[in-house]
Structure 1
Amino acid sequence: MSEPVRQHWVPKIYLRNFATPESINMSSPKVNVYDLGFKKQFCTSIDKVLVQKHLYTLGADSDSPLYVVEKTLAKIEGWSKSCIEAFSKGQTIHTNPQSKYIAAVFFATLLMRNPHMLEVQENGFRDLKDLRENSNYSSLESKISDFIIDEENGESLREISDWFSQLDQEGKHIFFVRSIIDTATTLAQSLLKKKWCLLRSVDGYFVTSDNPITVFHPKASPYGICTDGVHIHIAITPRILLLLGGEVSLDENQVYDVPLELVEHMNYLTIAKAERFIISSFTFDDLQNLIRETKQKI
């Protein structure tokens, strides 16, 4: 059996929910893609979109490359398949804590496995280094002592910053790959603390993107996924969207029919958080104005 060299950062098990109507029953269905960079749309197989060679491979150029992360992600996708199918049918999974945890891990990996996280990771350590060089680092370190990860060995933020700055590109890639599963399992616990409900479109349709987990705070900036008041959503199908939030006024584990106005608002947030590509079951002719307005406001 050949090794999984081509690795999707948005898995096919999720993308096929946005297959075009005419290809939905094919073994390799197609999706409509809008390229925000070139401002053009095209239709392509889910085999050919949001994929990169050796994205999660450890030691890709060595004689013995390791595919353990890609294979682990594939297992998580397989375990979560029934949960995604339940959501796509407008069913909640609150009666099964194990299913909900698996879904939370799957959604957390979707957030962490994006290649954009390589840039986020590097920027974060660069900001940490700048703080160290341009401010009272000792004072800063005492204020955020909760982030000291190994008190016994004295492995503080200072040492972590120094360590990361000495890594070459391969070392930074390895750090990114190895952190996907570990970080995702921690994030999953945070997701489970939020209220989960489904929104079902009465009119219009939801789109997704190359960054399908949309994290939004209506007031705070900057903010993290665990910040109070953060809302998280992910389009499950063109008709169903999963909404998670600690302060959502809707009841947990319910399904709500929502009008076109709210569907467009959710699409606005999805497009705003996209890195480059928007994915849809339908062409983007009806969404051209929304795409243009969204990108003009960012």
Structure 2
Amino acid sequence: MSSKAKATRRCHWVPQAYLKGFAADDRKPPRIWRLSNQCGEAEVKRIDKVAVKNHLYVVTGEDGQRDDTQERRFSELERFFASNPWCALQTGYVDLSSQTLRKMVALLAATVFVRNPAHFNLSKRIHQSFVEAFSGPLGLPDAVIVGGRRVELDHSAWPEHAKASEDDLKRNWFDMMNSCGDVARMFLNMRWAMVASEEPVFITSDQPITFLHPDLRFRGIQNPQTSVIFPISPTRVLCMDHRHGEPDNEYYAAQHCGAAINMLVWRNALEYMFSPRDPHEVCQQILALEDVLPNLHDEVLPKGADTV
């Protein structure tokens, strides 16, 4: 009887299959430009060496063995990034109203959004804050007010929740990731528009799904003023918003060499910009945006008069 396959160690939260579309060269393995917003110089890195963390989607089972079921689920989904519809979306002018295409892209966008380690770190901080707040002498409240209604609390599950291990919290995170169809449906209900460039100008980051709102805070996907940017390739960026009065499923010409979109993607990064070209050139174009910064939100969002 063969032994159980060794669990995946290196887990990529930005799929390698996605980043290959932004590769800086044709080498094997492919490489990509990377620039940190913390320190250091721009560098060309192998794609298999970026946006990666050991055992990020792996937990230890009751038998003491590492379980990488979640990583293998992602691997199955990531096959879409090599599919013919995705490849056509990267460079062509495909029909964005196709329900098959929209469902694929919405699911990929939702998964890329929820699998980011920033979400897990946030859930750990929230858990720790609850434990610290309610483990003192005052204990748990007997009820909370939700929407003006008093809701009685059941304390029976609190001891187990309070002592949850990192693996326990990961399993909760996995459950959320595996039910991200709700997020995908929200994306499907938005207006879709593609910003297109003849030249490879767009970047992506270690947090590729960028949410925009006029007050620069996340107000929820369904907020009427929320819009979403998802870089598809160096020549295509998908924009989703709630401007249903504007044309749906249209293509729009990139403005300012794509610098306005690149600035928003770069600002949203956890730490790293990923680019097919030298990040110094990208940053120089962003710095040249001074004249449009006051109206950047409107500059980025596609409008009917600009269709191509």
With the shorter chain as reference, the TM-score category is: 0.7 to 0.9
* 1:167 matched to 2:164: yes
CA–CA distance in 2 between the matches of 1:16 and 1:201?
Answer: 18
Q: Note if contact 1:9-1:50 (Cα within 8 Å) is conserved in structure 2.
A: yes
* Residue in 2 that maps onto 1:85: 87
Alpha-carbon contact 1:125-1:161 (below 8 Å) kept: no
Spell out, residue by residue over 1:101-152, the C-alpha distance to the aligned partner (whole angstroms, 9 max, x if none): 122111111001111111222344567779989xx9945334489xx9xxxx
Q: Go from structure 1 to structure 2 and tell me whether the alpha carbon gap of 1:126 and 1:91 turns closer, same or farther (over 3 Å shift).
A: farther
Matches within 5 A, 1:192-231: 192-201=188-197, 205-219=201-215, 221-231=217-227
CA–CA separation in structure 1 for the residues paired with 2:39 and 2:101: 40
1:65 counterpart letter in structure 2: R
SS in 2 for 1:40: coil
TM-score normalised to the size of structure 2?
A: 0.78
State the distance in 2 between where 1:91 and 1:164 align: 50
Give the structure 2 partner of residue 107 of structure 1: 109
Q: Is 1:6 the counterpart of 2:10 in the alignment?
A: yes
- Counterpart CA distance in 2 for 1:163 and 1:2 is 30
Task: Report the equivalent of 1:245.
Answer: 241
Give the Cα–Cα distance (whole angstroms) in 2 for the partners of residues 32 and 118 of structure 1. Answer: 26
Deviation for aligned residue 1:215? 0.8
Change (3 A) 1:114 1:220: closer
| Partners of 2:287 and 2:160 in 1: CA distance | 42
The question of 1:57 aligning with 2:58 is answered yes
| Native 8 Å contact 2:70 2:174 kept in 1 | yes
Correspondence 1:68 to 2:69: yes
2:141 aligned with 1:141 = no
SS in structure 1 at match of 2:49: coil
1:35 is displaced (CA, Å) by 1.3
C-alpha distance in 2 between matches for 1:142 and 1:237: 43
Q: What residue in structure 2 maps to residue 151 of structure 1? A: none
SS of 1:4's equivalent in the other structure is: coil
Query: Counterpart of 1:172 in structure 2: which amino acid?
Result: L
1:171-219 Cα distance to aligned partner (Å, 9 max, x none): 222222332121x211001110011111013567111100000011113
Aligned to 2:33: 32
Counterpart CA distance in 2 for 1:86 and 1:159 is: 53
8 Å CA contact 2:262–2:286 kept in 1: the answer is: no
SS of the residue corresponding to residue 76 of structure 1 reads helix
Q: Report the CA distance between 1:47 and its aligned residue.
A: 1.0
Q: Is the 8 A contact 2:259 2:286 kept in 1?
A: no
2:272 alignment partner in structure 1: 277
Deviating runs (4+, > 6 A) in structure 1?
127-133, 158-162, 290-294
The structure whose Rg is larger is 2
CA contact (8 A) 2:14 2:51 kept: yes
Q: Is the 8 A contact 1:268 1:290 kept in 2?
A: no
Contact 1:230 1:245 in 2 (8 A): yes
Change (3 A) 1:270 1:69: same
How many angstroms apart in 2 are the aligned matches of 1:62 and 1:292? 55
Q: Which residue of 94, 105, 124 maps to 1:122?
A: 124
Alignment counterpart, residue 234 of structure 1, candidates 230, 235, 249: 230
Q: 1:94 aligns with which of 89, 96, 100?
A: 96
Q: Which amino acid aligns with 1:207?
A: I
Matching residue of 1:267: 262
Q: Take 1:253 and 1:161, find their aligned partners in 2: how far apart are those partners? A: 48
- Map of 2:297 onto structure 1: none
Partner SS for 2:173:
helix
Scaled by the length of structure 1, the TM-score of the pair is 0.80
Q: How many Å apart are 1:93 and its aligned residue?
A: 4.4
Amino acid at match of 1:119: N
Identity of aligned residues (%): 19
Deviation at 1:12, TM superposition (A): 1.0
Alignment partner, residue 292 of structure 2? none
- Structure 1 residues 202 and 78, CA, compared in 2 at 3 Å: closer, same or farther? closer
Q: Is the CA contact (8 Å cut-off) linking 1:76 and 1:102 kept in structure 2?
A: no
Return 5+ residue gaps in structure 1 as ranges.
Answer: 149-153
